[in-house]
Amino acid sequence: MQPRTVDTSAAAVPRPPIEVRDPASERTVGQVPNDGPEVVARLVERARSARPAWEAMGPRGRGRALRTARRAFVRARREIVDLLAAETGKPMNDVVGEAFAVCLDVGSAVRHAPRALRPEVVGTRIPGGKTRIVRRVPHGVVGVIGPWNAPLTLTLGDAVHALAAGNTVVVKPSEATPLAVRRAVEALAGALPPDVLACTTGDGETGAALVDHVDMVAVTGSPETGRRVMERAARRLVPVLLELGGKDPMIVLEDAPIERAVNAAAWGGFFMSGQVCMSIERVYVVDSVADEFVRRLVERVEALRVGPNDREVDLGPLTSARQVEIVASHVEQAVEDGARALVGGRRMPELGPRFYAPTVLVDVRPEMRVMNDETFGPVVAVQRVRDADEAVELANASPFGLNASVWTRDLARGRAVAERIEAGSACVNDCILNAGDADLPFGGAKQSGIGWRHGGVDGVRAFTRPQSLRIDPGRRTRDVPWFPYRRRPVELALRAMGWLWG
């Protein structure tokens, strides 16, 4: 794939740096360059020059290099997590979890790459003893565009799998949270061959320039971002991987382990202040256990501690100021239409402008915005249902299909219900952490994304394309279908169709 031609000899137009703010205090915690298209073009050109030697190392050689890079990342871990906490406002439990996940991703990618990239001999059951082989080929330079909610793991998780597959990588973190990713790439890249991994920082124009030059794009973000990237990539027919939004349903059946289900809803709905695409946003609970489930859930949510991450807290601020407005509007519209907030349902100005109280809504209806649009905040909406059939019908009545969960003591029934849900992944008596399972691929259905990444063989193969090889021994001068044509082979072929399939 050839990059779009850009004249990089011209002097770059000066662009003011981007200031990064702590969402709890809104004080400036750092700044990064706002790279222009010419900077991006140079980084991609260097990555493209470095790729042949990196690919030639083979999966095991690259694996050794990536393990060395992981050690460099671990040595810098405290600085990285401090930056991540400052720019996202998340509790240290969450940011350390992100750093831990990067280390797990390296291990998974390195472990699965030899098998994922091993050429597959299809067989020789065709005339003439021809050999057929399918091999996996890296795309070239992969551009990774990361989100602001979990910038470290969702950006570097893609990068390390792409590297393990033999690509070189340029990452572009969100302009809202670029500090930890930039420092992590600096640590990793310092232990890798030159220009194999690079980071560019900037706004939407920087991201667009990256799409214009790389050979493949991996994006984690909103459906709107995914559409823009896909439209731009389509101009050059560049393949894309998209992990987009979710509106994940939780189905609580009448025989559910209630205590476990309640604890899961409290964590799965409010982890990272609900700023996770796999967050539990919709709960469909069978009527016979709804009262008990709601009562216990309210108790758990009332006990959650909210505050800046310099304290021991469970929830921090929302990272994006715009997201506070979206969350507030979802709740306000639902309450105006008859829903009730049993806990929360308000901003927390006493803590700061980006804090919103963890909220449990009941008496919601399917047509409400809070049951359809991605809220991406600390809000869980609970709707009563007659049975599993109604729950599945409501769960599937969504443009999203990322993750889902079913709660029941009957595991066979739980699996049967989970398999009916239109989602890329589903759990029984579990939630969210399946997305970080090092051996499971993760991806979305419908508007939740295109393609699979992370976890297992599929996570490495996602950054490759197949190449088919058909090899003949070369001992014969011609094959039957070649010129000159004869009538007799035609008649034999017609008869054979009748013998074989008539």
Place of tokens 């662009």: 15
Residue 114, preceding peptide bond in cis (omega within 30° of 0): no
Residue 335, helix vs strand vs coil: helix
| DSSP conformation letters of 96-133 | HHHHHHHHHHHHHHHHHHHHHHS-EEEE--STT--EEE
Residue 179: which residues within 8 A CB-CB, separation 6 or more? 20, 29, 30, 32, 83, 84, 86, 87
**In Å, how far from its chain's centre is CA 456?**
14
Strands 120-123 and 131-138: antiparallel
| DSSP conformation letters of 251-289 | EE-TT--HHHHHHHHHHHHHGGGG-STT-EEEEEEEHHH
**Out of 55, 87, 199, 277, which one is annotated catalytic?**
277
Residue 243 annotated to the active site:
yes
Say how far apart CA 142 and CA 204 lie, in whole Å.
18
Residue 148: which residues within 8 A CB-CB, separation 6 or more? 88, 174, 176, 177, 319, 320
Say how far apart CA 225 and CA 371 lie, in whole Å.
21
Measured N-to-C along each axis, helices 204-213 and 223-234 cross at an angle, to the nearest 10 degrees, of: 40
Find the length of the chain.
502
**Out of 55, 87, 98, 243, which one is annotated catalytic?**
243
**C-alpha atoms less than 13 angstroms from C-alpha of 501 in its C-beta half-sphere:** 4
Amino acid at 273: S
Buried b / exposed e over 101-139, threshold 16 CB at 10 Å, is: bbbbbbbbbbbbbbebbeeeeeeeeeeeeeeeeeebebb
Cα–Cα–Cα angle for 363, 359, 369, nearest 5°?
55
Residue 431 annotated to the active site:
no
Contact between residue 270 and residue 51 where contact means Cβ atoms under 8 Å apart: no
Tokens of 160: 């390390």
Tokens of 172: 């572009």
Contact between residue 198 and residue 141 where contact means Cβ atoms under 8 Å apart: no
Catalytic residues: 243, 277
